[in-house]
Structure 1
Amino acid sequence: MMLYPAMRDLLKKIPSRYQMVNMVAHRAREISAEAEMAGEPLDDKPVSIAIREVAEGKLDEQIQQIEQIQV
């Protein structure tokens, strides 16, 4: 089974696996809650959507916030 996007590509966006897992899990919960409140069914799993958002750079603001906290 091939994971897309590849882990090495995701790690270019978020250098720590731990941070990435936390960010994806948090975003997946947000996606799930938003869909439930809107009463809209999701075509993909929330985790898949969140991973795709990381790969597309849509979570850059959250990534920058994490980096600022670490400094």
Structure 2
Amino acid sequence: MILEPSIDKLQTKINSKYTLVTLSAKRARQIQNTKIHHVESPKAATTVGLALEEVLQEKLTVDPISQQENE
């Protein structure tokens, strides 16, 4: 089973796995509650997948200063 987007691609956008998981989980809950996402042509069938696609497309980012604090 191949998961998309791959962790290698995601870590080029957010280099901390902890930050990536926390951010995408929070965003997935928002997507689930509002049914609104910012992915133009989603491939994912789940809200977590949509959140990760937003990260990959740089529509969901993290403040670089807070990212350094989490490392």
Could you say whether these structures have the same fold, taking a TM-score greater than 0.5 normalized by the shorter chain as the test? yes
Q: How many residues end up aligned between the 2 structures? A: 60
Gaps of 5+ in 2: 36-43
Q: Which has the higher helix share?
A: 1
Moved over 6 A (4+): none
Q: Which residue of 1 aligns with 2:49?
A: 48
For 2:46 and 2:3, locate their aligned partners in 1 and report how far apart those are by CA, in whole Å. Answer: 14
| SS of corresponding position for 1:49 | helix
TM-score (norm: length of structure 2): 0.74
Alpha-carbon RMSD: 1.9
For 1:28 and 1:5, locate their aligned partners in 2 and report how far apart those are by CA, in whole Å. Answer: 15
Gaps of 5+ in 1: 36-42
Q: Which one has a bigger Cα radius of gyration?
A: 1
C-alpha deviation, 1:4, in angstroms: 1.2
TM-score (norm: length of structure 1): 0.74
For 1:5 and 1:44, locate their aligned partners in 2 and report how far apart those are by CA, in whole Å. Answer: 12
